[in-house]
Amino acid sequence: MRRIAAILLCLTATAPLAQQAQRAEVFGAWAVYVADDPRECIAFATAAEEIGWPEDSAGDASQMLVTWRENAAGQVTFRAGGHPVAAGSALALTAAEVRIPMFTDGDWAWTADPADDTRAIEAMGRADSAGMSLVAEGAVPVTVTFALDGFADAAARAAMLCAGA
């Protein structure tokens, strides 16, 4: 989890940090980043739309990452961009009429197991958008939408770049 957080900072932060993960290609709304030592390949997008965050909630755009590395082939991860997610709340990712529960730790969420990662990637590859439903602190319902144009190509490229990682 710390490694993913470090990579995410590289994707969104200053130039010195960005040297750790290099953007390989862009496919529509999705970009592919590659980091070495250990090798990780990430398909990454920021939210296209976010509805419901409390007005006093400070945070960046939410992000979705799908990561390939040793012992993780296509791990689906969501970050609420620093916005406060209600403690113990579960999120749900919906794409192509497939609903996949995700579990939270702070503003991070991930699927329960590799089978759910596979289902999420397959559903996202068939859909135009993916929605995340969650509860922010204060019991406020939030919907986050990700555009999936370019997702299938970005996922395939990231998987290929980390084949055998």
- Split into its structural domains, the chain has a count of 1
Domain around 24: 2-161
Residue 55: pLDDT band (50, 70, 90) is confident
DSSP state of 103: E
Residue 68: pLDDT band (50, 70, 90) is very high
Cα 121 from Cα 129, distance rounded (Å): 12
For 154, phi then psi, to 5°, come to: -65, -45
pLDDT, tens digit (0-9, with 9 covering 90-100), for 133-157: 998 888 889 999 999 999 999 999 9
pLDDT above 80 (res 9): no
For 83, phi then psi, to 5°, come to: -70, 145
Residue 1: pLDDT band (50, 70, 90) is very low
Rounded to the nearest 5 degrees, what angle is found at the Cα of 4, between the Cα atoms of 140 and 121?
A: 75
Task: Give me the percent of the chain exceeding a pLDDT of 70.
Answer: 87
* Residue 91: CATH number of its domain: 2.60.40.1880
Indicate the pTM of the whole model. Answer: 0.84
By DSSP bridging, strand 72-79 and strand 63-69 are: antiparallel
Q: What is the mean pLDDT of residues 77-90?
A: 87
